[in-house]
Amino acid sequence: MIGFWRKIYAKNDNVKAYTLLSPALILIILAMVVPMALMLSFSMFTQVNMMEIDYTFTFQRYIDFFQKNLLVTLLIKSIKISFLVTLITLITAYPVCYYIAFYVKKNKMLWLVLLTLPFWTSYLLRVFSWKIILGTKGVINSSLINAGILSEPLTFLMYSETAVVITLTHAWAAFALLPLYVSLEKIDFSFIEAGRDLGLSRFEVFWKITFPLSLPGVIGAILIIFIPTVGDYVTPALLGGTDGRMLSNMIQAYFGKINNIPLGAASATIMLTTVILITIIVSNVTKRLTQRLT
Amino acid sequence: MNNSFIQINNISKHFADVKAVDDVSFEIKEGEFFSLLGPSGCGKTTLLRLLAGFEYPTSGNLLIDGIDITALPPDKRPTNMVFQNYAIFPHLNVEKNIKFGLRKLGLSHDEIGNRVKDVLKLVKLEGYEERFSNQLSGGQRQRVALARALVRQPKVLLLDEPLGALDKKLRDEMQLELRTLQKNIGITFVFVTHDQQEAISMSDRVAVMNDGKIQQLSAPNELYKNPKNIFVSDFIGETNFLKAETKSSDGGFTNVSIEELGEFKIKNNLNIAANSSDVVCSVRPESMMISKVKSDWDICLDAKIRQTSYLGEMTRFYVEVKGIDKTITVSSQHFDNQSFENNECFISISLEDISLLNKK
């Protein structure tokens, strides 16, 4: 019996490939495909009352979503917050990676490890620590008041969109650092020297050579930050207050307190579709822009 | 023609405590094919990068065509470089790579088009405009790098081991082509290589470098025939060294006692001091002969062959001469490939062809 299988295994490359892939495949099917399918089907049902769901197929939930101003506003706000987070992360992480890739000669790994050090603690812990920094009696406010610069604490720091943007930016920075670093590290320094040799200033060389060549990393970083932050609900729940609430908090409520699973599922599906569309658009636009640059 | 087109005045470049280039001064003529030759780490590439502006000297100054360029950044210098790995921008096609260096020259659209067309013709790459770097062979990439640098019509073209990545046959072809190209366009070439054959066959003049210093700067045949020191003699071509000691000096000649062979009168071009044991005699393979019968050359010695290894145009003999084991290299045409009886042979040297060198 074992001999039989061994023969098949040895002869057929497809069998070999699927055997090796099977643990991952099974996991993905169970943990991704099945829940997604469930979510899609639930988005087409109707919640009759607290306990009962009507299982006839309908697109009414999607229409409901767009008729509720709150949901549309929250969707837009989620996208806006993620967009800001992505932008700020890129602007701050890019120079750091550039420095490590081109100017640090020894112990590059140490730099990367130090930069990602905060990410060794739990996500929740980091969110709470921002509470200590940004709160009304937090580090920033109390030192500004003690220094006599302010008489009243800054209220926009805490329980606001600002708080959510700051916290998410910090939380996801490490994920931007790595793809950016890898793509910059791969750029041969002689390309930059060649650019200078061919008469371009440092600034021009950056925009015409370095940036276009690091584009895979930039797009990677955009996707890696944008996709998870749109759906984040821990940070807005803990630091967002009413101002910093995002669509994911509402989705959570639909599955919980409000108990309208179909509408929650429809909102989640809409968010998923929007994120996919946006990422496609963003990566295409970035590529186009760079082509125009060069 | 300007004999001091490029002036390198007391240039030093130190990296931490390493003296990559150590107080070097020389001049390069306009329109010259000039090579910097030396083993890796000798400072030749650093010197080239100093000319390009990628490094700035620790001390000294550089002039090109009478203008001090020591402090100018690379984009303000009248030089262009062909990089060792060619550095063809992978996100741009051949045409855009070549146009890249023209955007800051303020040329009209037509002129840009014409220059690109001309330079593509010059390097024989017409029809490759749309290709990307990864769709080109090594030789084609090298041509693109050359075209990209030449299209800017620099006063000086710097080449950093541009043939190193090519296979032997292509390298020989490109050597000839580069040489012809340089003659046709008349731009000054500064060529860096560790390959002595390459430097010798292409250049008008060669600077041999070692330990950050110029060991000898002269025409290729001079390097071979009249090496100034033991390093140059050893680095350029094959040679045989014989231990020696100078005795009395007599005008341009010195009496030299060569290990176990006796005393001979040898011409002394380098003003080597008398009564010194810090000297060595160098004999090129083609100035030595191994034969079955005694010859009438100035020096003729009995020897016993222990082993031979055939190297193509040369043959290496491991011999015993007067009880001493020696390795000597001889031109293959200078011995008859007959078997030697009992491995007995005669080694002949002509006195004229012995160069007397200082050990240091």
Taking CA–CA distances from A200, the nearest residue in chain B reads B75
Taking CA–CA distances from B150, the nearest residue in chain A reads A198
Q: What is the mean pLDDT of chain B?
A: 88
What is the distance in angstroms between the Cα of A200 and the nearest Cα belonging to chain B?
6
pLDDT for B166 equals 84
The CATH number of the domain holding residue B162 is 3.40.50.300
- Give residue limits of the domains in chain A: 65-293
Mean pLDDT of B41-57: 95
pLDDT at B109 over 70: yes
Cβ atoms B308, B317 nearer than 8 A: yes
**Residues in chain A with pLDDT < 50?**
none
Nearest to A126, CA basis, from A175, A157, A86, A171: A171
pLDDT digits (tens, 9 = 90+) for A108-130: 889 988 888 878 888 888 888 88
Residue of B100, B102, B142 to mutate, interface with A, max A Cβ within 10 Å: B100
Q: Which residues in chain B have their CB less than 8 angstroms from residue A210's CB?
A: none
The CATH number of the domain holding residue B302 is 2.40.50.100
Query: Where a domain ends, among B234, B267, B298?
Result: B234
Question: Distance of CA B173 to CAs B161, B166, B197, Å?
Answer: 15, 10, 14
User: Residue B23: left if φ>0, alpha if ψ -120 to 50, beta else—which one?
Assistant: left
Mean pLDDT of B63-78: 94
pLDDT for B209 equals 95
Give me the domain span that covers residue B40.
Answer: 6-234
Between CA B43 and CA A226 the distance in angstroms is 49
pLDDT digits (tens, 9 = 90+) for B277-304: 888 888 888 888 888 888 888 888 888 8
- Out of B54, B91, B152, the one facing A199 most closely (by C-beta) is B152
Q: Which residues in chain B have their CB less than 8 angstroms from residue A200's CB?
A: 75, 103-104
The answer to whether residue B91 neighbours chain A at the CB level (below 8 Å) is: yes
Q: Kindly state whether residues B189 and B257 are assigned to the same domain.
A: no
What is the distance in angstroms between the Cα of A110 and the nearest Cα belonging to chain B?
23
DSSP letter string, A193-214: HHHHHTT--HHHHIIIIIHHHH
Q: Which residues in chain B have their CB less than 8 angstroms from residue A209's CB?
A: 89
Q: Kindly state whether residues B21 and B99 are assigned to the same domain.
A: yes
Residue B249's φ and ψ, nearest 5 degrees, are -105, 150
pLDDT for B114 equals 94
Q: Kindly state whether residues B45 and B123 are assigned to the same domain.
A: yes
Q: Kindly state whether residues B315 and B342 are assigned to the same domain.
A: yes
CB atoms within 10 A of CB A83: 18
Query: What is the signed CA dihedral for B33, B37, B43, B45, rounded to 10 degrees?
Result: 50
**Is B1 inside a domain boundary?**
no
Q: Kindly state whether residues B134 and B207 are assigned to the same domain.
A: yes
- Out of A190, A200, A213, the one facing B75 most closely (by C-beta) is A200
Between CA B201 and CA A140 the distance in angstroms is 72
Q: Kindly state whether residues B310 and B226 are assigned to the same domain.
A: no
Query: Where a domain ends, among B234, B262, B289?
Result: B234
Residue A121's φ and ψ, nearest 5 degrees, are -90, 170
pLDDT for B335 equals 65
Q: Which residues in chain A have their CB less than 8 angstroms from residue B100's CB?
A: 195, 198, 208
- Out of B73, B84, B90, the one facing A196 most closely (by C-beta) is B73
pLDDT for A41 equals 94
Overall CATH class of domain A65-293: mainly alpha
pLDDT at B359 over 80: no
pLDDT at B35 over 90: yes
Tokens 């797009």 -> residue: A219
**Is B134 inside a domain boundary?**
yes
Query: Where a domain ends, among B200, B234, B268?
Result: B234
What is the distance in angstroms between the Cα of A208 and the nearest Cα belonging to chain B?
9
Q: Which residues in chain B have their CB less than 8 angstroms from residue A212's CB?
A: 91
pLDDT for B280 equals 87
- Out of A190, A195, A200, the one facing B85 most closely (by C-beta) is A190
Angle between helices A139-146 and A123-134 (to 10 degrees): 20
